[in-house]
Structure 1
Amino acid sequence: MNPQEFALLLISVMASVTGQLFLKLGANKLGKVNTSNIFNQIASIITTPELLFGLLCYGFGAIAYILLLTRVKISVAGPSASLVYVFSVLIGYFIFKETIPSIRYLGLSLIVCGVILVVWQK
């Protein structure tokens, strides 16, 4: 993966992670959905700025990913996109104060090692 391709990957990952952050912020505003309020919740989604921005970020990330797919094999791009999982856990920890069990650290380490091996070129 050359520097331009790596930049596209990072843009895609960061846009997706930003999208997740704003979707979570918007979801926290909505509250829990149950069968009695599902239609009100759906209507609220289109008027919550955080949710709209989160969806916009996801769209931007998808465009960057499509551009990446024009340049690299899906067998490289797909597994590399799993870095979203790593950053999502970090956002959960630093922004939402979620606890991270030690086994999850191991899982995240394996993801990072796997991505390194997938993008590694001789």
Structure 2
Amino acid sequence: MSPIAFALILTGVILNAAGQLLLKAGTNAVGHFEFHLDNVLPIGLKLAFNPYILSGMAAYGVSLVVWIMALSRVPVSIAYPMLSIGYVINAFIAWHWFGEALSLEKLAGIGLIVLGVYVITRTA
């Protein structure tokens, strides 16, 4: 894999992870809500104009463009599994920013993901 292809994949993964984390920050700011016909408009407007939600959507949009560029250079059987790196990034940032738990089981799973991505990229 060329350095440019790797950079595109890593950039796409980081932007995708950032998008997810920003959406979570936005939902945290809006708070827990239920979807009912009477609150669709108020909740929809809160979500639509939340800066975290808007930033998360933008990150997803840019990640899509970057990801398409990466897929033009790398076989999907290599590129797609590398999206798993986003799980690792999200787990640690969610632990740090949102206080989400990082149990021994989660850490073991993260280790398996890292090992799996390593094995897949070594066979390319």
Q: 1:41 aligns with which of 40, 43, 47?
A: 43
Q: 1:76 aligns with which of 68, 75, 78?
A: 78
Q: How many residues are treated as equivalent by the alignment?
A: 122
If each structure's helix is expressed as a fraction of its own residues, which one has the higher value? Answer: 2
RMSD, matched Cα: 1.4
% same residue: 33
The residue aligned with 1:107 is 109
| Partner Cα distance (2:2, 2:123) in 1 | 9
User: Where has structure 1 moved over 6 Å in runs of 4 or more?
Assistant: none
1:121, CA displacement in angstroms? 4.6
The residue aligned with 1:29 is 29
| Partner Cα distance (2:110, 2:41) in 1 | 37
Q: Deviations over 1:31-61 (max 9, x none)?
A: 1121343332112111111110110001111
The residue aligned with 2:6 is 6
The residue aligned with 1:86 is 88
TM-score, structure 1 normalization:
0.93
| Partner Cα distance (2:76, 2:94) in 1 | 28
The residue aligned with 2:97 is 95
Deviates more, 1:21-30 or 1:32-41: 32-41
Q: State the secondary structure of the residue aligned to 2:68.
A: helix
Q: Deviations over 1:56-102 (max 9, x none)?
A: 00111111111110001110011011111110101111111211110
Segments of 5+ residues of structure 1 without an aligned counterpart are none
Segments of 5+ residues of structure 2 without an aligned counterpart are none
The residue aligned with 1:119 is 121
1:20, CA displacement in angstroms? 1.5
| Partner Cα distance (1:39, 1:109) in 2 | 43
| Partner Cα distance (1:99, 1:44) in 2 | 28
